[in-house]
Structure 1
Amino acid sequence: MRTRAAATGPAGDRPADVLVRAVRAAGSALAQLVGGFGTAVPALAVLVLLVVAALTAPLGAGLLAAPVVVRALHALAERERGRLSRRGPEIVAPDPAPTGLRPALADPTTRRELRWALRHATSGLALGFLGLWLPVAAFRDCVFPLVWPFAPADTSSTSLGFGVAHSWPEALSVSLLGVGWIAVILGLTPAMARLQARPGRTFLAAGPDTDLSLRVAELTATRAAALDAHAAELRRIERSLHDGTQNRLVTVTVLLGAARRMAARDPGRADELLERAQSSAEQALAELRAVARSILPPVLADRGLAGALGGLAAGCAVPCRTDVDAPQRCAASVEATAYFVVAEALTNIARHSGATGAAVTVRTGGGRLRLRVEDDGRGGADEEGGTGLTGIRRRVAAHDGTLRVTSPPGGPTVLEATLPCGT
């Protein structure tokens, strides 16, 4: 086993493994660059509108438009925080900016968002455009020899717009440029994605002049919720052992004592008592197994999160489908929390929703595990109604996660939980 582990370590990776990782990293980087392009264009539009509002302010029109543009800036910055948090470490948002125009313009958060918009609308826009253009250029140049015989005689041979191929060797040489673009994609796009994300991670996070007392209070409440959840779990285990297993074992002890006293006088009656004692012992073992599975389900270690959730869906009284795309394993406690969240949600659906179908979706990315449980039931789920949502929220909060429940009357009910993957 030592030899195999050493052969598969970083120093012993096969070229095919290195290539696969490079392709995956480049694909993820291209997706980030394109996503950044999707926020860079609105950032440029917001900056143009701010300039127009400033120029028309003496006429009065700019003063009316400025608050709308400022709100658009805040909304775009919040969208960028969410995008970057999905692709990497979470960006802690600062306190909300004031709603009035003058206070908003004087607010440090607004000024930092303006600096981000300026950087993102220039360098971020250019990098995002490259993220769109490079794959197209690579494909175009690589396949050029295949389409060259059918192209007009004066068509430029390269994606850069220069050169005209007059022979097969010249047409084939264009494909070498396509190979070069592929090398650029594999080698440079991860760094380009990091460069594009840097202004957002620098200016959109809570700055040194931001009051973080709200975040401190949130973490304090999270710690208290974690302690409460831990204490409630210990009480649940203690009740299960005291009310169930302990009573079974007491019954076994009493039956064995009675059988021993009766063995000489009435062997048949003693055999009956021994059978009852054996049955009680088997029930006690089953209850012990149930308590152990409730602490950390062994199915998670045996089959992983996807297999464990598939088992829950198969055992649900309501038809349920699962869609789990979680190649990144999370900490055992996080996976156990995800398992219990889904188990409690499916139990609620079977008991209270009147649904005819349910769906469980799981995704990982950016160091977060995201759960979504949806049903087509009657809706109206209420945490105060004893449906277990309070327990789910406490479990999620214990990991500094988030929980959102949407359940309008008439349905559908959607439960979304986000948990840090942990280490």
Structure 2
Amino acid sequence: MTARFLRAARQRIEDSCLARGILYPWWVPVIGHLAQVACLVLALGQRDALWPLDPLLLTVPLVLAAPVAQVGYRMMLPWWLDGLGALVAVGWLLSVVPTYDTFGPVDAAPAVLAFVVAEATARDGLRPGMIVAAISYAMLGVAAIGPGIIAFPVYAIELEVGFVVGAMLLWQMRALLAERGLRESAWEQATTAERERIAREIHDLVAHSLSVTLLHITGARHALGDVASGAVSADDAVSEADAALADAEQVGRRAMADIRRTVSAMADGPSSPQSLPGASDIAALVREVDQAGLRVDYDERGDLTQLADATGLGLYRIAQESLANVAKHAPGSTAQVSLSVGRGSARLLVRNPLGAARGKRADGQGSGLAGMHARAAQLGATLRAGEDGEEWLVDVRLGQRSLELPCGHTIPGLGRLPGAAASGAVS
């Protein structure tokens, strides 16, 4: 029963702090209010007001009114009303001269003011804290002139210490809020970057497979159209169409398998590493597109093993997206792909005649082009995509060898370190 009550009280205190935008642990306000009550009881004892019952005992509910209203009844009190009860209680106590022989020569009532100043500063800000401190100084001055109090400088220092402690807690809370905001912002940026990376991967898989499938379907349609024109026999046309549709089916099934594998790896993580395509797979990519009906000439120069795995994957995806764009915007044209790897540099060129596709993508705002630019930026490479005379040109240049990081990004200007872990697998 007691444990349940304490848990409920703790939850009430934490909810009250969060409602006011306060990040302090629950025990900070509890210690502050208990300290006020303890100092108040000492001040009452110094005035022989504990027993027999004295009207000064009403100062106890005055001090406890604000925390009880906020925690017990979930009331949001303004800062000036929050500390009003404690200020009235201390003013009442200071109007009565204590019997210093009972608990020593120093009055405990001004210590309550120090805690009130610290609480107002830490909870509501520097300006409310300074106002409460000024009122407290005025009360001490009136008490020193009127009823008379001993050790006024000690009480003044107590108020200053309370204000400084409250300011320290306030700045600490603001620093925590700023840190939490930066952490949430960094998390949102990382989430956005990961979402964009996943979108690019899915886009590359779907766009390429659909482009190749459409090429096969177009080939089958042309084969059937040749029958009507009498260019080929029906048997040959059916055989050619059947082969094209079978290839389209194969490409579609392979694309579905790749998408499932990619989504599964992102959701749960694969049971074993799965290799990703690299620069050496661009030749197979070109053959696949060429077999689908889009004539592509490929030229490869240099040692592709010099490229880091992440660099090879990026070049492969850019080549894949470029060929998908050719199949989409100029399906009846040809394309030339060249990859050259030199000492400390690499260059990928994909070009095709513009023809009827002139002006369709000259703005460069398509999602595929944006994805290629993003991949090039990750590689530390420069990418130019646009019209070059009578051709559409995609030109990717890596000026120097790059250092591959475990996260998949590369740092341009550094070579691969001996024994560096490859990132050409997803785990």
User: TM-score, with normalisation over the residues of structure 1?
Assistant: 0.31
- Higher relative CO (Cα under 8 Å, sequence separation at least 6) belongs to 1
User: TM-score, with normalisation over the residues of structure 2?
Assistant: 0.31
Higher helix fraction: Structure 1 or Structure 2?
1
Query: In terms of Rg, which structure is larger?
Result: 2
